[in-house]
Amino acid sequence: MTTLNTANNKVPSLTLNNGVEMPLLGFGVFQITDPAQVEAAVLKALATGYCHIDTAQAYMNEEAVGRAIKKSGIPREEIFVTTKLWVSDMAEGKAATALDRSLERLGLDYVDLYLLHQPVNDVFGAWRDLEKALANGKV
C-alpha cells in the first residue's frame, strides 16, 4: 500500500511498498536534445526546488542530466532520479547491461526508479534483470 506524504511544505510524495519515497512532481527532459540546454534546465529545476528528475535511455541526454546533478551541490540522496529501459534492450541480460550503461552515462551508482519504457518483447526477462539490480542496490 502506498502512502501520500505532504508534510514540511515539500512536494507531495508517495511512499512505495518497498519504503522508497517518490516525489509526485518531477522535471522531465524529454525532447531537450542540446546537452548544454539539458544541463542548464536541470540545474535550474533543482535550484527551483524540484527533487525528481526524469530522463530515459531513449532521450539521449542522460550524460547532461548527470552533470547537472553533480554540479547542483545537492546531496545525491535528496534527488530522486528516474530513467527508462528502451525496447531494444527489453530482454534478460540486455536489460542489466542497459542499466549499467545508463548508470555510467548518469555518473551515478544507482537510480531511484527504472521503468520499462514501452514494455514489449521479453518483458519477463527484463523484469528478472531489474529484480537483480534492485537486490544489488543499482535501483
Contacts for 99 with CB less than 8 Å, ≥ 6 apart = 85, 111, 114, 129, 130, 133, 138, 139
Q: Encode 8-72 in three state secondary structure.
A: HHCCCEEECCCCCEEECCCEECCCCCCHHHHHHHHHHHHHHCCCEEECCHHHCCHHHHHHHHHHH
Residues marked active site are found at 59
Contacts for 125 with CB less than 8 Å, ≥ 6 apart = 90, 91, 92, 93, 95
What is the rounded end-to-end Cα distance, in angstroms, of the chain?
20
